[in-house]
Amino acid sequence: MKEQKRIPVGIEGVDELLAGGLLPGTLTLLTGTTGTGKCVHANTPIYVNGELFKAEELYKIACEKGKEIYKSDEEHLIKMNSFTLPSLNKQNLKLEKTSASYVYRQKYDGVMLRIKTKSGRRVIVTPEHPFIRINQGIGEVKAKNLRINDFIAVPRTLPEYESNVSIDNSFLDNLFIPVGNGLYRLKGTRKAFKPIKEFTPEFLEWLGMLQAEGHVRKLWLQFTSSHNEKLDRFKELTENLFAIKDIYYPEKITVRISNKSLIKYLNLAIGFQIGKNKIKTIPNSIFRLPKYLKKIYLRNYIGFDGSFYKGYLELENANPETVNRLAYLLLEFGIVSRLSVKYIKKEPYAKITISGVDFLKMFFNEIGFSLDYKNQKLQAYLSYKKSNTNVDVVPQINELITESYNLCYKPSKK
């Protein structure tokens, strides 16, 4: 009997499982639990190629750029050009970059569980989603079997990815009109600006200041500070970076730039969001930068928006996503933070906290504040405090010490 030729489905593991692919004229059913790769909520942040996307955003990108493998009312499988994401190496328990090639989406109407750690991390998953738990050893446990006070693995640092400092200005000629001397303006407007070709230290300083104390609307942007030298610095940077002279001070503590063309450009070129602070967040373009530029951005953002008091470095923001993204950026420097909620005038604000001498030293040495008096305050604290982080713990340490003592020092019977 002649053997029928199988048709590959294009997924290496599945084709191997099916001995080469599907048999024509037959129906093949593959089954598996929700823990087999389709078990996180659409809003789950995923660190892909050094950038941070929600699962839903990653799916939309796959729909636009990927190749559809299978689609039904319940499921959708898309092949992408290989992308990388952090994955746990179970041999050395370190995060490493791992290649992935497919994006899968499934309609799910079942129960979802919200998992929250003591450090404030939250994730919504199906009951079958696996976690790494430390309990008399290291092993996997399904979300539905987790209990309060269980220790689960979370990242302490993130692997480095290739950086990119260039800015894609290919959209300029479609939406903007060149007016000479390298300046552009939106069609239907009069005020022009000079586009930026790449991320520079000066541009990251300006962005960090704007992220912290800026307000961006469709027609204007402004920066507010009680430090006159910082107001003048923001004005100077705006003039040098964008060749804009139409800058004024509506109040003693505010610098305002009315330039619709510049604001639209920032939105399209680097993803800077326009609107109230509740929607403003850290753009993905920041995640693609080399660490020395990220330092400048963080130094100015946290320098203006952060505070230090009695051993705690804190920053509040109306948008929880901004604080979550900030936590990811800090992890690239090995700085572990905690997330929580703080009520200001009865309104909930997301708060990020860095504590423990070790992590505060990392912040001081790697990033620091852009305002000198805050740096001096932190330095004075670190000068008399010894390393004793209150963030790290050793799970089941009492049992381990008791067992070690009994093995080494337990007196023998006479």
Residue 286 maps to a domain: no
Same domain as 404, residue 377: yes
Relative orientation angle of helices 228-242 and 201-213, to the nearest 10 degrees: 130
Is residue 13 over pLDDT 70? no
Same domain as 169, residue 131: no
Same domain as 246, residue 275: yes
Q: What percent of the chain has pLDDT over 90?
A: 54
Residue 288 maps to a domain: no
Return d(Cα 352, Cα 314) in angstroms, integer: 6
Where a domain ends, among 264, 281, 298?
A: 281
Is residue 351 over pLDDT 70? yes
The predicted model gives 192-218 an average pLDDT of 95
Same domain as 36, residue 8: no
Residue 221 maps to a domain: yes
The predicted model gives 141-147 an average pLDDT of 92
Residue 294 maps to a domain: no
pTM for the full predicted model: 0.84
Helix, strand counts (H, E) of the chain: 12, 20
* CATH number of the domain bearing residue 203: 3.10.28.10
**71-85 pLDDT, tens per residue?**
888 889 898 887 888
Question: pLDDT tier at 35 (50, 70, 90 boundaries)?
Answer: very low
* Cα separations in angstroms, 163 against 97, 130, 160, 207: 15, 31, 9, 18
* CATH number of the domain bearing residue 52: 2.170.16.10
The predicted model gives 254-259 an average pLDDT of 95
Residue 368 maps to a domain: yes
Residue 292 maps to a domain: no
Where a domain ends, among 152, 176, 201?
A: 152
| Three-class SS state of 116 | strand
CA angle 272, 330, 61 (to 5 degrees): 45
CA angle 94, 336, 376 (to 5 degrees): 140
pLDDT at 354: 96
Q: How far apart are the first and last CA of the chain?
A: 79
Query: Which range among 2-16, 184-198, 217-231, 255-269 shows the weakest confidence by mean pLDDT?
Result: 2-16
Same domain as 62, residue 22: no
Same domain as 127, residue 167: no
Same domain as 90, residue 37: yes
Same domain as 349, residue 247: no
Where a domain ends, among 152, 171, 196?
A: 152
Range(s) of the domain holding residue 345? 306-414
The predicted model gives 100-111 an average pLDDT of 86
Compute the mean pLDDT over every residue in the chain, rounded to the nearest whole number. 87
Same domain as 79, residue 48: yes
State the total domains in the chain.
4
Same domain as 190, residue 234: yes
Please give the residue that has the higher pLDDT: either 198 or 133. Answer: 198
Interacting residues of 202 by C-beta distance below 8 A, sequence separation 6+: 237, 240, 241
Q: Are 202 and 170 in contact (CB under 8 A)?
A: no
pLDDT at 85: 87
Same domain as 100, residue 171: no
